[in-house]
Copies of this chain bind each other. A is one copy, B any other.
């Protein structure tokens, strides 16, 4: 019978054997992915206002995050849902991050927007819905900016690595993978966070891997324990949704942590990180 063949055997640049050492992706902001130091990106789903993003940036910097996440261009299932503040959102995001010494990671959805987003971001995020948006992968690859490549909603590991290969083939070596949960039959959680890919990818590729427990579970109360599990499994960092007032968030409120919950998470995470030989970023002096 004819069966679908996984393409991993075709992987050239992203496979583990392609480099003698595992890749460490370093951002201009100072954050890095893949070394002893963990990368902790935190922030709201959407940039909503100057006040909201400043309050969030200050809080997450104080708690020890070294990257500010936040969406200015939002991929929304419904055309009637909030679509993001666009360039104004990028400006607010970059300003807030700058005030507290954080790097900026934010999503780009349209290949035509890559230059614009790259002007404000330290790292371009390619979202789950765009993991196989090949035109976007080529533009992001050619930009040379560090890229955070999220796993598609139901992407196999093979497909995900092949998407990374598009980026590498375009000349961009600064690629970080992000597990964010996959679709499942059970609606108890928003997705199934597939942490096994963390050690599996460590065998298959030299690229760093981080975990997004917010989208991975969709439930704020599960974010802390799954963050701890991710780091124990060997993840190189986390992407966590934090909002000063989740109940009023324009998107993803049910999976966003309050600032104090995020601070609690960082505190609980420190001994777990130490137990596997990793360390958290130092809390920002600026915050």
Contacts and interface: CB of A to CB of B under 8 A. Distances in A.
A222 B194 contact: no
Contacts of A217: 196, 200
Nearest to A128: B132
A200 B184 contact: no
Contacts of A197: 188-189
A99 interface: no
B110 A135 contact: yes
Contacts of A171: none
Contact of A156 (B109, B188, B218, B274): B188
Nearest to A201: B188
Interface string A103-119: 00000011110000000
Nearest to A12: B80
Contact of A275 (B111, B194, B230, B271): B271
Contacts of A199: 221-222, 225-226
Interface residues of A, number: 79
27 contacts: A2-B254, A4-B190, A10-B78, A75-B132, A77-B132, A79-B165, A79-B169, A109-B133, A109-B134, A111-B112, A112-B112, A112-B135, A129-B133, A154-B183, A158-B188, A182-B184, A182-B186, A193-B196, A195-B229, A196-B216, A196-B222, A198-B229, A199-B221, A199-B225, A200-B222, A225-B232, A228-B276
Contacts of A184: 182, 184-185, 192, 194
B196 A189 contact: yes
B111 A4 contact: no
Q: List the number of copies, as a whole number.
A: 4
A122 to B, nearest CB: 23
Interface of A: 1-4, 6-7, 10, 12, 75-81, 109-112, 129-130, 132-135, 152-159, 162, 165-166, 169, 182-190, 192-200, 203, 216-222, 225-226, 228-234, 254-255, 271-272, 274-276
Given A192-B182, A233-B225, A165 B78 contact: yes
Contacts of A271: 274-276
B186 A200 contact: no
A218 B2 contact: yes
A4 B271 CA distance: 33
Contacts of A187: 3-4, 6, 156, 187
Nearest to A190: B4
Contact of A80 (B2, B10, B112, B221): B10
A266 to B, nearest CB: 14
Contacts of A231: 232
